[in-house]
Amino acid sequence: MLLAGAVAGVVTVPGPAVGADSCEEGRTRYVADTPAGLVRLGASQAWPLATGAGTTVAVLDSGVADANAHFPDGSVLPGRSFVGGSATEDVRLHGTAVAGVVAARPVEGSGVVGLARGASVLPVKVVADDTREGPDADAGVLAEAIAYAADEGAEVIVVALSTFVDDARLRDATAAALRSGSLVVASAGNRASKDDPATGVRYPAGYPGVLGVAATDDGDRVAENAVRGPHVDLAAPGVEVLTTYGAWGDCYLSADAGSSSYATGYVAAAAALVAQRYPGAGPRGWAHRLEATAARARRDARDDVVGWGVVQPVAALTAVLDGSLAGPPPPGSSPAPSEEAPVERLAVTQVPDPGAADRRRVTWVAVGATGLLLALALLRLGRTRRGG
């Protein structure tokens, strides 16, 4: 997705980047191919363990077109629009594509299906219908939408948007969602052009407890246009993604560049699988499972390119997390220091006491007075004895 530029407190999202064969609005078609992302993530091995059934994934975006056959009755909840129009209509097409990655249902003649194909989708519209380019989602609106999704009981909240601006409203909303039991999964951002900065924190991915997601290509390499930074926690497929296209079936999207939007959808879907299998673990526990079991070059280290690695749903569903697995610290613990912290020895300097001389004088006066009284007492005692 595109990033907010000079406009503070605004996030932007493009329409889906259409593949070379160019899908056509208004013409329904289905693609029989199995999405490559599902193959790479081992979906067929994950589904016997969990499908996301019983969980709700909120998609905060441009709406979700429930008229698409991949979303039969009951799979998409009524939701809410914060920008006018209906949450179950999608002029921009972006939200429907993300929702398809998450929870599209099987359709005859189509290979498209969501990784969490049993989850319910809660559409929350934060991107207006009236423009396809430019700034279009206020950070304050996004904060309200996150609060709404959490209040509705969504286990997972997908925010396939990002902004440069650290907005207090967004920060507070993500923190409150985490406390209420919702895991926010957000785009780590893409560069729209080579002139855009390749590094730097994007929000809400950069907030504590939020999973920031980068896109990978068909070789599990992080896409060249992905934004790097400390806000990157995980990566997932985001190039040439086969998913739902508006109300009209299927389409290949992002054929020429990576899209962290769809990668975010895959990680959110994986989180829904984990939430179904481990409901008591809560959002921090779900995130830890995804991070601890991700595929990475070094088990004990993350980096600003791939985070803790490429998400591995099957491993996240089956791993025994007894503390022996190298990687991120479990929730509630502190990471071990990489090396012994140096001990700083303090030099103690004696500071002159300005009242010392006066106290010495008082002491000597007291001692002198005591001596004088003692001498007088002895003298009286001696006189008494002589007089007796």
Q: Does pLDDT of 166 surpass 80?
A: yes
pLDDT grade for 361, boundaries at 50, 70 and 90: very low
Does any domain span residue 386? no
Instruction: Tell me the C-alpha distance between 275 and 294, whole Å.
Output: 16
pLDDT grade for 223, boundaries at 50, 70 and 90: confident
Report residue 222 as tokens.
């992080």
Looking at the 3D structure of the chain, how many domains does it have? 1
DSSP string, 23-74: --TT--B---SPPHHHHHTTHHHHTTT---TT-EEEEEES---TTSTTS-TT
Does any domain span residue 367? no
Catalytic residue among 70, 94, 231, 288: 94
pLDDT grade for 224, boundaries at 50, 70 and 90: confident
Q: What is the pTM of this model?
A: 0.81
Does any domain span residue 365? no
Catalytic residue among 110, 120, 259, 261: 261
Catalytic annotation present for 162: no
Catalytic residue among 61, 90, 136, 167: 61
Instruction: Tell me the C-alpha distance between 262 and 100, whole Å.
Output: 9
The secondary structure of residue 351, as a DSSP letter, is P
Q: Which of 260, 319, 309 is nearest to 285 (CA)?
A: 319
Q: Which of 338, 335, 236, 330 is nearest to 292 (CA)?
A: 330
The model's pLDDT over 125-151, given as tens digits with 9 standing for 90+, comes to 999 987 554 445 789 999 999 999 999
The model's pLDDT over 280-328, given as tens digits with 9 standing for 90+, comes to 999 999 999 999 999 999 988 999 999 999 999 999 999 998 888 888 9
pLDDT grade for 3, boundaries at 50, 70 and 90: very low
Does any domain span residue 343? no
Does any domain span residue 115? yes
Instruction: Tell me the C-alpha distance between 254 and 20, whole Å.
Output: 9
The Cβ of residue 76 has, within 10 Å, a number of other Cβ atoms equal to 24
Catalytic annotation present for 94: yes
Catalytic annotation present for 75: no
Does any domain span residue 282? yes
The Cβ of residue 74 has, within 10 Å, a number of other Cβ atoms equal to 9
Does any domain span residue 116? yes
The Cβ of residue 102 has, within 10 Å, a number of other Cβ atoms equal to 31
Does any domain span residue 345? no
CATH of the domain at 146: 3.40.50.200
Domain limits for position 158: 10-318
